[in-house]
Amino acid sequence: MTASITPCCASRPDRLRGRLRAALAALLLVVLALASPLAAADDATITGAEIVADDGSYVLNADIDFELNPRLADAVTRGVSLYFVAEVQIERPRWYWFNATVVDRQLNYRLYYHAITRSYRLSIGRFHQNFDSLEAAVRTMQRIRNWQVANGDELQAGVSHQVSLRFRLDTSQLPKPFQVTALGSRDWTLASDWVRWTFLPGIPAFR
């Protein structure tokens, strides 16, 4: 007769190893969830930009390549306003300290669907325009033209300045329930990387 012995329960070291593996797996899931928005953050690309002198001031022109994913497009059509922002910073180098920030400005966008007129309304600062299609409104956002970013006396002539520009969806202005939904969601992440270039006032340096 052959006898066999089956343990009724796992040993303490085995239980500890099992718990450790479960904890590591849970930690990995959290890391992947947090990394997902970062992986999708580069959904917009600034394909060209310049700052030029214009009648005593400096204006910025830029082209941005991006599309609204199905979730964002559906939200607009259902009446949710989407907010976008273009941010520009201009710094003047200082040999004795950190760069001096001489310009830090934003251009704000609001895109929403007007049910009564059955049109898409785009607000850029104080300017408003209606469009028959969402695609037409997005095309307008893709082109920044004659955005006054500095007065003539804000930039020192003959001195190189460092310009930084980016474009992004501003989820902080969404209704509270959508702000919660946007946390950790790739569908609600749309942003370009910062684009940086050096220029002398009035001379374009990035195209």
Beta-strand ranges (E) seen in the chain are 45-54, 57-65, 82-92, 100-114, 119-124, 127-131, 143-151, 161-169, 195-199
Query: What's the confidence (pLDDT) of residue 8?
Result: 43
Q: What is the pLDDT of residues 13-70, one digit of tens each?
A: 555 555 555 544 444 333 333 343 333 444 899 999 999 998 889 999 999 999 999 9
- Gap between the Cα atoms of 146 and 168, Å rounded: 19
- Gap between the Cα atoms of 57 and 146, Å rounded: 10
- Gap between the Cα atoms of 184 and 145, Å rounded: 33
Domain chopping of the chain, boundaries: 10-39, 43-199
Q: What is the pLDDT of residues 89-108, one digit of tens each?
A: 999 988 888 889 999 999 99
> What is the DSSP secondary structure assignment for residue 41, as one 8-state letter?
S
Residue 188 pLDDT grade (very low, low, confident, very high; cuts 50, 70, 90): confident
Burial class (CB in 10 A: 0-12, 13-18, 19+), 10: exposed
